[in-house]
Every structure is written in structure tokens, then in C-alpha cells.
Amino acid sequence: MTLERTLSIIKPDGISRNLIGAVIGHFERAGLRVVAARMRRLGRPEAERFYAVHHSRPFFASLVDYMTSGPVLVQVLEGEDAVRKNRELMGATDPARAAPGTIRREWGESIERNLVHGSDSLETAREEIHFFFGAIDVCDRTDP
């Protein structure tokens, strides 16, 4: 098992419902560490680019509306097997189908308003981290 990094986003519903601490606590208790974080508002072009893989899906415009409806918290999580572990902690896309105890099951409102994003592979994680952060933003645990 190697140390990995993955991109996590607390989506606008998580911010407006004041769940930042609850969500990050979930990650920390599972052994993931926040090594970069920034709150920001996504513009439409940025949200469209981030979710470009879904551009032909029927829910795309609505997804972009949702992701631009308020600030998000973008963060890099580090830990053993971080990509898979983050996805496991998030739960299935549809909160109704997510396993008990997962973030989406606990707080997600619908298949769209599901509170968190997580990279789905190590390769996607690299691209997504690069999308939001430069090397100088990521603070390794060995940093003074």
C-alpha cells in the first residue's frame, strides 16, 4: 500500500448546511489527512471543465447550476489508499443507495445534491489536484 493523494470537494450544500467540520472529521477519523484546502466559488466555465466527462449527460446543466450555486471547499486528502478510501467514505452517488455510515447516506439529499466529490482513480486524482492546486499549495506532513 502506498501513500496517495486525492481531490475532495465539499459541494455547495455541504457549505450552506455548515457541514465542513463534520465531513472533514469523517476523513480524519478514517486516517486521511488534509494537505491542501481552499474555499472558492466555481464559475460556470470552470465547473463545466471540471465535469466535462459528463457534458452529454441529461443532468449536466443542472449539475453545473448546483456546483456554481455557492462556494465549495476544494481539498487534497492524503493517506494510504486515499483514492479508494475517500470513495468508500463518500458512499454511492445516490445517497439512497449509499451504505449506512457514509457521508452521502448521512447528509446527501439526492443523487445530484450529494454533498461531496471524490476523484475516481489515481490518474483522475492527479489531474483534478492539478486543476485546483499548484505544488506550493500542498503542504506535506514533513513541512515545518
Q: Which residues bind ligand ATP (CB under 6 A)?
A: 54, 59, 63, 93, 111-112, 114, 117-118, 120
For the bound state, the minimum distance from the C-beta of residue 36 to ligand ATP, rounded and expressed in Å, comes to 18
For the bound state, the minimum distance from the C-beta of residue 93 to ligand ATP, rounded and expressed in Å, comes to 3
Complex with ligand ATP: residue 35 or 125, whichever CB lies closer: 125
Provide the annotated active-site residues.
Answer: 117
Complex with ligand ATP: residue 5 or 117, whichever CB lies closer: 117
- Look at residue 9 and give its three-state secondary structure: strand
Complex with ligand ATP: residue 80 or 109, whichever CB lies closer: 109
Phi, psi angles (nearest 5°) of residue 78:
-125, 145
Alpha helices (runs of H) in 51-120, residue ranges in sequence order? 60-67, 82-90, 103-107
- Look at residue 68 and give its three-state secondary structure: coil
C-alpha to C-alpha distance for 19 and 51, rounded to whole angstroms: 23
C-alpha to C-alpha distance for 49 and 36, rounded to whole angstroms: 21
For the bound state, the minimum distance from the C-beta of residue 54 to ligand ATP, rounded and expressed in Å, comes to 6
Residues facing residue 8 across a β-bridge: 75, 118
